Copies of this chain bind each other. A is one copy, B any other.
Amino acid sequence: MRNVAVCSYATSKFTKRSNLSIFDLACQPCIKVIRESNISKTEIDAVLFSSCSAEQYGSNIISEMLGISPKISHRIESLCNSGTNSIVSAYAYISSGLCDSVLVVGAEKANSPGSVLSWDVSRGSFTLPVFWAALFAKAHMRKYGTTEEQMASITVRNRSNAQKNPNALFKSTDNEVITLNDVMQSRRIADPIKLLDCSCACDGSSAVLLLSEDKAKEAEIESPVWMKGIGQQITGASFNQASSDLTTINASKIAARGAYAMSNTSPRHIDVAELHDSFTILQVLALEDLGFVREGMGGMFFDQDQGVVINPRGGILGCGHPVGTTGLAQLAEIAAQLSGKAGQRQVQGCKTALVHNLAAAGTSATVMILSS
């Protein structure tokens, strides 16, 4: 297998509603990615478009708008897990030798059709994701004594991190931070989940350029970031397939095992991690499922204690959740961190990092491990 490097990356400013079409939105970070790489448009072998948008032929439309004529071009959709599916696909194209350079772009509008899960009959009338988040949260509270305050503190931390991220949806102009009290007093949506335990759908786009090792050398990429481990797992599509134990997400555990094995690492090697925190309870579960803390301890985790920094860009809670974009924005952050270009958010001395991306009640998960 050929080594694969992340060589250039960019994320747009996430907003509640932009005036841009999904294609204009998609082009924004691509233009930056191409400009900042030493790769010319004619050298791009594939364009993969991650989105839940109902538009057809989107990947070709974006390619045409960018003036690229790649060999391979298509859209990839797997709900919130679309972004990392696209990245792994790009990895496969390069690693197999079919491509030397792949541009992966995620774009989504806030009104993405990915937000309601009407096909999942196991949910009855409860089609919104918040209902299963409530079940996960209740189960964890019951079994381990996790508190609403512990979950609320995750929003406080991730929103606070987002203040250092100019592209985050919840970067406030005056750096006003959310307090524990704000989260606790926010509207109760589905007990015990409150409004500020939830992420927010938004407009946003992100792009990364992946290159083969030879191509990265040829292009004299300064600080490439290497894809070292990949683990993916689906357990189904319906909530009743996610897990029989509602205090854990099996797909995450299996995906993590695969990624650690492939990269010959373990949780203690990870310096910085992007965890899928579309609800606060999901960060609690991810901390446990990925092995950063023991079972049941996710609610008590604080970065400074553990030698790993979680969601420095602000996570999904702080950045917003443009569904098909999220996995790419996570990777863009990790690439920035590992190449020492994360600015105000830089985690000093980080060498190994992790991306964790979920979809649909944890019925699918991707874990990727990268190193500088």
Residues of A within 8 A of B (CB): 1, 52, 54-61, 63-64, 69-79, 81-82, 85, 88-89, 91-93, 95-98, 113-114, 117, 119, 230-238, 241, 255, 258, 359-360, 363-364
Contacts and interface: CB of A to CB of B under 8 A. Distances in A.
Contacts of A79: 56-57, 60
Contacts of A241: 64
B92 A56 contact: no
Q: What number of copies of this chain does the assembly contain?
A: 2
Given A61-B119, A69-B236, A91-B98, 9 more contacts: A57-B359, A57-B360, A60-B360, A63-B237, A72-B232, A74-B78, A76-B76, A96-B96, A98-B230
A230 B232 CA distance: 26
State the majority secondary structure of interface residues on A: mixed
Contacts of A235: 69
A77 B75 contact: yes
Given A54-B113, A363-B60, A92 B96 contact: yes
Contact of A92 (B58, B82, B92, B234): B92
A234 B75 contact: no
A56 B81 CA distance: 12
Contact of A85 (B54, B72, B233, B363): B72
A59 B256 CA distance: 22
Contacts of A234: 60, 63, 69-73
Given A85-B72, A95-B98, A57 B237 contact: yes
Given A60-B236, A237-B57, A74 B82 contact: yes
Contacts of A98: 88, 91-92, 95, 230
Nearest to A46: B232
Nearest to A122: B64
Contacts of A69: 233-236
Contacts of A95: 92, 96-98
Nearest to A359: B57
A50 to B, nearest CB: 9
A93 B64 CA distance: 27
A119 B359 contact: no
A72 B63 CA distance: 25
Max chain B Cβ within 10 angstroms of own Cβ: one of A56, A63, A73, A363: A56
Contact of A71 (B56, B57, B233, B237): B233
Nearest to A63: B234
A36 B301 CA distance: 50
A138 to B, nearest CB: 25
B64 A238 contact: yes
A64 B237 contact: yes
Contact of A117 (B57, B75, B359): B57
A77 B74 contact: yes
A63 B236 contact: yes
23 contacts: A54-B113, A56-B79, A56-B113, A57-B77, A57-B117, A57-B119, A60-B237, A60-B359, A63-B237, A69-B236, A71-B232, A72-B85, A72-B234, A73-B85, A74-B78, A74-B81, A74-B82, A74-B89, A75-B76, A75-B77, A89-B92, A92-B98, A95-B96
